[in-house]
Amino acid sequence: MTPRSRRIAGSLAAVAVLGATLSLVVAQTGPTSEQHGANPQLPPPERGLLPNMRIAEPAGWGDRRPAVPQGWTIQAIATDLAIPRQTLVLPNGDILVAEGKGGGAPVLRPKDYIAGLIKAKGTTPVKSGNRLTLLRDADGDGTYEGRWVFAENLNAPYGLALIGDKLYVANQDALVRLDYAAGQTRATGAPVTVAKLPSAINHHWTKALAADAEGRFLYVGIGSNSNIGERGLAVEENRALVWQVDASSGAVRPFATGLRNPTALAFEPGSGQLWAVVNERDELGPDLVPDYLTSVREGAFYGWPYAYWGSNVDSRVQPQNDNKVRTTVRPDYALQSHSAPLGLSFVQPGLAAPFSEGAFVGMHGSWNRDQPVGYKVIFVPFTNGRPSGPPVDFVTGFQADGKTMGRPVGVTVDPKGALIVADDLSNTVWRVTPAR
């Protein structure tokens, strides 16, 4: 065993006061088979005295690069950003990058303090940018030589969407709008608030955003205010759901509920159906509960906090709600538990097989698991607008030798036939293109 195979079995309560975290050394085990698809194996819930925690130490990329499939190349098109999360490819090919970090939920228990210290080891020390950066490749040679700060003094911007000449930005506390004209490198005028978004506590602060094809409605993903209701259910009002926002009036209404943390939303181009990736609950074991990719059906309840993956009851929530458990809808497609999908983008028709129909999913990577999972971008193949097979690794190599060089967040298909990947650990935006 090497120091690298150290496992931080961290934490909790009284250690806070004693100011120490437990470290213990365990042997690495082989890779596990990944959960995926419509019928994942669900082991019984388990939780020892300590939750499994493993945070791979961050390290610089050096000469390393993420790995991509044969026939593809990857290149960093922007570095030294301030926590890039989601990206948007504008009609003229420019790329907007939302940079920032929100949250800051108060410590309620000694555990919150310790867990916060441990998880912070796996993230960048860079301060939240609270801005949008615009990247431009004017001559189309694949090098993004142009770089401007498009807008600043935003509040942890995350979701981005363009409807005509209006750019919508989902800050952690409000959906705002900026005017946009083709070729612009700097926003003119201050952001106009379209709708306030629930932001009290903001345990899960990211506000995912997607606009429908007609430009009539925007959809905002709003995460829960806790892992599993441990801050009380009163603070979960208007949380763990997808809101529908009328783009012209700013009127809001719940569209689908019980989605613990819907971190990315996108429309499937063939069917016009809204899809989401959702981060499910922690501390029930390494293979529970699967995160998922699902179509978001109007009025549907997806379980949180009372149930998971259909009507499996989560007994940590008391009093229980049998009615809610019965009405829980099963998601469409499981992703490996704890892999933390934060990015979702459907391919445009015309990309070469095997990527001609389906969705890319950026996985930020696990903490609540001995054997790390996620830390990669996968491709989920679709046929006729529905998932049709096991996921394929697309960008990997974000971890090596027990170190973590990068953590993928937002993924965006560039209509020019490329994939844009935001990496909030190395503060880089990557571009994956077919090799010429």
Residue number with CB closer to another protein (14 or 38): 14
Structural Rg of the chain based on CA atoms = 21
Nearer to another protein, 201 or 242 (CB): 201
Contact 58, 119 (CB under 8 A): no
- Please give the helix or strand (H or E) that residue 169 lies within, else none: strand 166-170
* Nearer of residues 109 and 127 to another protein, judged by Cβ: 109
Interface with another protein, residue 108, by CB under 8 A: yes
Alpha helices in 257-344 (DSSP H): 322-326
**Can you tell me which of 7, 8, 9, 16 binds another protein, judged by CB under 8 A?**
16
Within 8 A by CB and 6+ apart from 61, the residues are: 405, 406, 426, 428
**Smallest gap, in angstroms, from Cβ of residue 260 to another protein?**
13
- Give the max Cα distance, the chain: 61
Q: Which of residues 332-361 bind another protein (CB under 8 A)?
A: none
- Residue in 37, 93, 103, 110 binding another protein, rule: CB under 8 A: 110
Cβ at position 366, least distance to another protein in Å: 17
Question: Binding string, 376-395, against another protein, x = CB under 8 A?
Answer: --------------------
**Is residue 50 involved in binding another protein (CB under 8 A)?**
yes
CB of 131 to another protein, least distance (A): 35
Other residues' Cβ atoms within 10 Å of the Cβ of residue 415: 12
Q: Which of 153, 318, 323, 384 binds another protein (CB under 8 A)?
A: 318
Query: Does a cis peptide bond (omega within 30 degrees of 0) precede residue 58?
Result: no
Smallest separation (angstroms) from another protein to the CB of 172: 23
d(CA 285, CA 369): 8
Tell me which stretch binds another protein (CB under 8 A): 104-112, 133-141, 291-299, 412-420: 104-112
How many angstroms separate the CA atoms of 91 and 226, rounded?
Answer: 38
Number of H helices, E strands in the chain: 3, 32
Residue type (1 letter), 361: V
The distance of closest approach from Cβ of residue 224 to another protein in the complex, given in angstroms and rounded to an integer, is 12
DSSP 332: S
Q: How far is the CB of 230 from another protein (least distance, A)?
A: 4
Site mask, another protein, residues 255-294, x = CB under 8 A?
----------------------------x-----------
Bridge partners, 160 (sequence order) = 169
With binding defined as CB under 8 A, does residue 49 bind another protein?
Answer: yes
Identity of the residue, 8 or 77, whose beta carbon is nearer to another protein in the bound complex? 8
Q: Decide: is 109 part of the binding site for another protein (CB under 8 A).
A: yes
Q: Torsion angle, CA of 332/333/335/338, rounded to 10 degrees?
A: 10
Query: Please, which residue, 16 or 97, has the CB nearer to another protein?
Result: 16
118 binds another protein (CB under 8 A): no
Question: Cβ atoms within 10 A of the Cβ of 207, count?
Answer: 29
Nearer to another protein, 14 or 26 (CB): 14
From the list 43-51, 193-201, 243-251, 323-331, the region that binds another protein by CB under 8 A is 43-51
Q: Which residues pair with 78 in a beta bridge?
A: 429
CB atoms within 10 A of CB 119: 14
* Candidates 195-203, 220-228, 338-346, 370-378; binding stretch for another protein (CB under 8 A): 220-228
Collapse the DSSP code of 248 into the 3-class scheme (helix H, G, I; strand E, B; otherwise coil) and give the result: coil
User: Cα(409)–Cα(402) distance, rounded to whole angstroms?
Assistant: 20
Residues that bind another protein (CB under 8 A): 11-14, 16-18, 47, 49-50, 108-111, 226-232, 283, 315-319
